[in-house]
Structure 1
Amino acid sequence: MKKRKLGNSDLWVTELGLGCMSIGTEEKAAREIIETALDEGINYFDTADLYDFGVNEKIVGVALKEVREQVILATKVGNRWMPDKTGWSWDPSKSHIMEAVKQSLKRLGTDYIDLYQLHGGTIEDHIDETIEAFEELKSAGYIRCYGISSIRPNVIREYVKKSNIDSVMMQYSILDRRPEEEALPLLHEHGISVVTRGPLAKGLLSDKMLEKVFQKGYQDYSQKELLEVLPVLKDKLASDRSFTEIALQYNLAHPAVASVIAGASSPEQVRSNARAVTSKTLTKEELSFIKKLSKANVYKDHR
């Protein structure tokens, strides 16, 4: 599996990363998914302290212990579970980040994190304080590089201007092209990599697409529009290949994108996603067709 450089760091991540949120808490099943990812050549594993109250980090850490030096381990910070675990609050403060990283390192069973990401963010945050925390952790060797997980253009601009982030994780797909207008060009210009999530748009961009069409639609597509657009895309582009291939290759076609993070709840899903990223790339004509048929939507909310 091909690798791409992550921002200005010295990390090279595989074009497909495993989003670990969906691997579950049954350790044997979760480990089988992770081991399948390793067998497929994936070196990039993404978790967060928020997932399953930290249990996800523990499972990932144990599963990757024997290959720790060969993989890129990414986790996230910024959300604090309430004592009764009924919800969480947002806390991007330096004090929280400096304490939370210790707990993540302990759960992951490692003495460093390759990519530490802010798990959200708003323009009202004390961004300078957050950046200071990440820079100190980097200088101390607890993290190798840092980034943010955000779809907010105004927040992204602030981090581009003020910080040394190497990556931004954001939702991006054929049905959610909002990053194309503002975020992707800006990040590419500054050598900051994009890591995409949600490439299959909740299954709408898979071979089970019509089973996944929701009555309420998706993003700014109505149910009626989805039922019109999806079959045309499939007939035109996926007559001899899976639609998952089309979806993941669309993400990888943008020069700002370093890796596509896809979740998996079974080994077969991992294998399917791996086949998709190692398949043939989309042609200019295919990309043009996709852009003509789909919506060039933009960020109205979440600024």
Structure 2
Amino acid sequence: MKTNQIGNSKLHVSEIGLGTMSLGTDRAKAVSLIHEAIDNGVTFIDTADLYDFGLNEEIVGEALRDRRDSVVLATKAGNHFEEGKEGWFWDPSKKHIKGALKESLRRLKTDHIDLFQLHGGTIEDPIDETIEAFEELKSEGLIIEYGISSIRPNVILEFVKKSSIASVMMQYSILDRRPEEEMLDLLHNNNISVIARGPLAKGMLTDRYDEKIKEDGFLDYSKFDVLETVKQLNEIKGDKRNMTQTALKYALAHPAVATVIPGASRSEQLLANITAQNAPDLTPDEVQKIRDVSKKNVYDKHR
């Protein structure tokens, strides 16, 4: 599978990665799915301490026990939870970030994290303190690189100006083109890679879209809007690609995007995602046609 560099770092990741949030809690099934992903060329695995309150990291750690060197492993921190207590709260403090990293290392059964990410953030956060925590962890050799998972332009801009982040994870798809207006070119020009989550828009950009479309639509799309857009996308893609491949190739078309991380809970979903590696890239004309039939969304509430 094609690989891309994360920022200016030494990390290179498969263009199609695996987001593990939807793996579920069946250990044997989840471990098998991760192994299948790696066997099919996936070298980027993304998890977070919040997923199933640490259990997801434990499962990922179990799956990578004999395959740790085969992947770039990413996880996230910033949501403070405690075993035996309900709920969580946002905590970008240095104390929490460094403590969370220690717990993630324990659950993942590894001595370092390749890409450690802040799992959110607001403009009111003590951003300098948060950056200091990540820089210290990097200097200590406990993480290789760090990034932020956010859809807030103002927050991302602060990290671009003040930190040495290698990546920004953000939701990006044909139905969510918000990053195009403000973020993608900016990040690319600063040698910061984008990790695109949600590239299939909760399954609405797959060949099973009719089963996945919700009554309330998606972002500023009504259910009718989604149906009409997918209908036009089907005409654009022709016979060269299926809908899943078209959606993943669209997100990968911008040079800022290093990898897409569609989730999968079944082998069929995983393999459908991975087939995109063999599909032809979108031509500039096809990219423009897709933009012509989809909405140029903008960030409004999340700044």
The percent of aligned pairs where both chains have the same amino acid is 59
Whether 1:220 aligns to 2:211 is no
User: Separation in 1 of the partners of 2:295 and 2:43?
Assistant: 33
Deviation at 1:67, TM superposition (A): 1.6
User: Separation in 2 of the partners of 1:148 and 1:68?
Assistant: 23
Corresponding residue number in structure 2 for 1:174? 174
User: Separation in 1 of the partners of 2:295 and 2:211?
Assistant: 21
CA contact (8 A) 2:240 2:279 kept: no
Corresponding residue number in structure 1 for 2:274? 274
Deviation at 1:266, TM superposition (A): 1.0
Pairing 1:228-267 to 2, within 5 Å after superposition: 228-267=228-267
Q: What SS class does the counterpart of residue 36 from structure 1 fall into? A: helix
With normalisation by structure 1, the TM-score equals: 0.98
Q: What SS class does the counterpart of residue 114 from structure 2 fall into? A: strand
Corresponding residue number in structure 2 for 1:195? 195
User: Separation in 2 of the partners of 1:226 and 1:17?
Assistant: 26
CA contact (8 A) 1:80 1:89 kept: yes
CA contact (8 A) 1:188 1:256 kept: yes
Corresponding residue number in structure 1 for 2:52? 52
Deviation at 1:82, TM superposition (A): 5.2
Deviation at 1:168, TM superposition (A): 0.2
Amino acid of the residue matched to residue 110 of structure 1? T
CA contact (8 A) 2:8 2:192 kept: yes
Q: CA RMSD in A?
A: 1.1
Amino acid of the residue matched to residue 76 of structure 1? K
Q: What SS class does the counterpart of residue 129 from structure 1 fall into? A: helix
Deviation at 1:277, TM superposition (A): 3.0
Corresponding residue number in structure 1 for 2:7? 7
User: Separation in 1 of the partners of 2:83 and 2:18?
Assistant: 29
Corresponding residue number in structure 1 for 2:298? 298
Corresponding residue number in structure 2 for 1:114? 114
**Residues 92-126 of structure 1: CA distance to partner in whole angstroms, max 9, x if unpaired?**
00000111111100110011000000000000000
User: Separation in 2 of the partners of 1:272 and 1:154?
Assistant: 35
With normalisation by structure 2, the TM-score equals: 0.98
Corresponding residue number in structure 2 for 1:139? 139
CA contact (8 A) 1:123 1:154 kept: yes
Corresponding residue number in structure 2 for 1:43? 43
Deviation at 1:262, TM superposition (A): 1.1
User: Separation in 2 of the partners of 1:228 and 1:208?
Assistant: 15
Deviation at 1:83, TM superposition (A): 5.5
**Residues 210-268 of structure 1: CA distance to partner in whole angstroms, max 9, x if unpaired?**
22222111110112212222112113314443100000000110000000011100122
Gaps of 5+ in 2: none
CA contact (8 A) 1:248 1:277 kept: no
CA contact (8 A) 1:238 1:246 kept: no
**Residues 120-139 of structure 1: CA distance to partner in whole angstroms, max 9, x if unpaired?**
00000000000000000000
Q: How many residues align?
A: 303
Gaps of 5+ in 1: none
Whether 1:183 aligns to 2:183 is yes
Amino acid of the residue matched to residue 217 of structure 2? G
